[in-house]
Amino acid sequence: MIETIDALDRKILSNLQRDASMGLEALGEAVGLSRNATWRRVRALEQSGVIRARVAVLDGDLLGLKLSVFIQIRTNRHDPEWLSTFAAATRDMPSILAAYRMSGDLDYLVHARVADMAAYDAMYQDLIRRVEMSDVAASFVMEELKETTALPL
C-alpha cells in the first residue's frame, strides 16, 4: 500500500494520464527509474486504488454519439431507497456517463452522451420510467471547450 505519493509517483501518474498504454520501459525512461522499480511503483499505485483503471478515451462524435447533455434533476424524495433506485438506474444506462448528488438548489446532475435528440428522448423516457423525479431539465452542449480525465498533479 502507498503511504504517500512522492514526486516520482506523480511523474508516473502524469505520464500514465497522458498515455495509459505506455510500456514500463518507456515509462521508466520518462521518470528516471529502472523497468523493475517502475513496475513496483505502478503496481503499488494500482493496489492502493490511486490508479482505478487504465482505459482508452474515445471520440464520441466519431462514434456517432454527437449529442452531449447535462441533465439537472430535482426530487421530492431524499430517502435511501430512492437514491439506491436512482443510482442503479444510472449505472444500468450506458448512455449515462456520470451522475452526481449535488449540494444547493439542484439535487442531481447527470452527464449523458447520445446520438441525437431522438436518442436523448428515448433515454429520458427510460429514466423517468425507472425513477420518480419532481423536475428534470436538460442543457445540451453546443461546443466542447475542454474535457479531460487528467487530474492536476
The grid coordinates of residue 144 equal 466542447
Is the per-residue pLDDT at 110 higher than 80? yes
| pTM of the model as a whole | 0.88
CA–CA dist 46, 67 (Å, integer): 33
Average pLDDT over residues 56-69: 97
Average pLDDT over residues 90-114: 97
Domain spanning 7-47, CATH architecture: Orthogonal Bundle (1.10)
**Residue ranges of the domains in the chain?**
7-47, 67-140
pLDDT band at residue 1 under the 50/70/90 scheme: low
- Return mean pLDDT, the chain: 96
Question: At a CB cut-off of 8 Å and minimum separation 6, what does 39 contact?
Answer: 24
- Which fold does the domain 67-140 belong to in CATH? Alpha-Beta Plaits (3.30.70)
